[in-house]
Homo-oligomer: A and B are copies of this chain.
Amino acid sequence: MKQQGKKILIVDDEASIREMIAVALEMAGYECLEASNTQDAHSIIVDESPEMVLLDWMLPGTSGLEFARRLKRDDRTAETPIIMLTAKGEEDNKILGLEAGADDYITKPFSPRELVARLKAVLRRSTPAGIEDPITVEGLILDPVCHRVSANNAPLDIGPTEYRLLQFFMTHQERAYSRTQLLDQVWGGNVYVEERTVDVHIRRLRKALGSHHEHLIQTVRGTGYRFSTKAS
């Protein structure tokens, strides 16, 4: 059986651009869906469940930015990765795009190769195979489904970033990671943030874990941090 290409939805109001992208993706083995406005896009996403949405920044009516936010708020569509397409000069908005829930952004004009490369990268990151089971370490439970953390049956008050950080650590125990690696893995590759920011979030995470579990987050001096059940 021929491998079923993954479905990619292209949302752009210019038909020529949609077509160009569609051709590039189809050559790379993907199946393309197209929408010229957010209404169509929304119903396609709900009906067809594409693996990914390529979303133009500028759209008539609801802007791409706003649409992305909306998608992330809706449970039915929140899991679908989004790559924002921004035109030149709008680049400063990339941060907005990422914070709105986009998983990556790409600036027009772009080469087909670049598009496909990023698309693959995002798909790779966001294909959660079996990451659905809760992880437990010394009474500390992280439940990816409920998106909650609890210690000894008591829910923990933990922020989004701390949650992702903890999830990363709990799924990559024992190994030491540099601040840079953590930024790549937890914050996402294309976010430019000071390395020391990691320290602050480590601190917040430790605080949230409380004296009972903070020892799990170990400092590896001169290198970074590590999640380990063994004493350091």
Q: Which positions in A face B, CB cutoff 8 Å?
A: 88-89, 91-92, 94-95, 98-99, 107, 109-111, 113-114, 117-118, 120-121, 124, 145-148, 155, 157, 159-160, 174-176, 180, 184, 189-190, 192-193, 220-223, 226, 228, 230-232
Contact = CB atoms under 8 A, between A and B. Distances in A.
A58 B176 CA distance: 43
A223 B95 contact: no
A152 to B, nearest CB: 13
A160 B230 CA distance: 19
Given A99-B111, A121-B190, A91 B94 contact: no
A117 B147 contact: no
A118 B223 contact: no
State the copy count for this chain: 2
Contact of A159 (B189, B190, B221, B228): B221
A176 B148 CA distance: 9
Contacts of A155: 230-232
A114 B102 CA distance: 12
A192 B146 contact: no
B92 A226 contact: no
20 contacts: A88-B91, A94-B107, A95-B110, A95-B111, A98-B114, A99-B111, A117-B193, A118-B192, A121-B189, A121-B190, A124-B184, A146-B175, A146-B176, A146-B228, A147-B223, A148-B176, A155-B230, A155-B232, A159-B222, A160-B222
Contacts of A89: 91
